[in-house]
């Protein structure tokens, strides 16, 4: 099953290090980040989960719940957690799904047989409050993810959802943004952006980041 932006994120129920997780219920009315790692007791994954734990306050500020996954057992996860805490200097403070039966990995097409037919690639799914997939990123097992970029994507998605703006190349939170082309009503534009905008081209209208107001 190949999931695309705009598809409803498949619901599931699976055991985890924090007990049984019902995905949609777990997300409630917030945002979600579901990401897979190839296997427990592996070096790149150890660094990723430790760094994610250190970012929990950043995810909480954005009303994002994090959920990790590998196709290992809950007992394996439980045995790995002390290693992460020891080597990364922080305890894992979010659930890790035990997906030994590959139920979730299959639902989200996380196993790419041409790369490895037994373990997941490094998939990332951004899920909105409407339970729809807003973005996804896939990395090979050998490449650790850039979680600063993941936060940047969340900021961009949330800004677009609230303010009808898009974010330009290399955008960072607080920098100028672009009015989405679909917004053409000048009365609504004035209401949304009372400070006005700079029209570089009719289709390229620059405004200050409205979340700064």
**Contact between residue 69 and residue 102 where contact means Cβ atoms under 8 Å apart:** no
In this structure, the strands spanning 133-139 and 64-70 are unpaired
> Cα–Cα distance between 79 and 136 in angstroms, integer?
29
- Can you tell me whether residue 2 is helix, strand or coil? coil
Which residue among the candidates 21, 27, 34, 45 is catalytic per the annotation?
45
Start-to-end CA distance of the chain, whole Å, equals 42
Does residue 81 have an active-site annotation? no
Task: Please give the Cα distance from 184 to 153 (Å, whole number).
Answer: 25
How far is residue 102's CA from residue 96's CA, in Å, rounded to a whole number?
Answer: 14
Active-site positions read 45
């Amino acid at each position: 099953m190949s999931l695309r932006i705009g598809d409803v994120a498949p619901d599931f129920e699976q055991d985890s290090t924090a007990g049984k997780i019902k995905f949609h219920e777990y997300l409630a009315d917030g945002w979600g980040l579901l990401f897979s790692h190839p296997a427990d007791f592996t070096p790149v994954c150890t660094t990723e989960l430790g760094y994610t734990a250190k970012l929990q306050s950043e995810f909480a500020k954005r009303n994002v719940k994090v959920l990790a996954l590998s196709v290992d057992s809950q007992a394996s996860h439980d045995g790995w957690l002390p290693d992460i805490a020891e080597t990364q200097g922080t305890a894992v403070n979010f659930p890790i799904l035990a997906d030994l039966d590959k139920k979730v990995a299959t639902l989200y097409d996380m196993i790419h047989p041409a790369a490895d037919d037994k373990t997941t690639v490094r998939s990332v799914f951004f899920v909105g409050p409407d339970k729809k997939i807003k973005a996804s990123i896939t990395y090979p097992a050998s490449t650790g993810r850039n979680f600063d970029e993941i936060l940047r994507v969340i900021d961009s998605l949330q800004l677009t959802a609230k303010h009808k703006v898009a974010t330009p190349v290399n955008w960072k939170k607080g920098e100028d943004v672009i009015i989405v082309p679909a917004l053409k009503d000048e009365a609504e534009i004035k209401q949304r952006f009372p400070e006005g905008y700079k029209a570089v081209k009719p289709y390229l209208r620059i405004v200050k980041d409205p979340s700064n107001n």
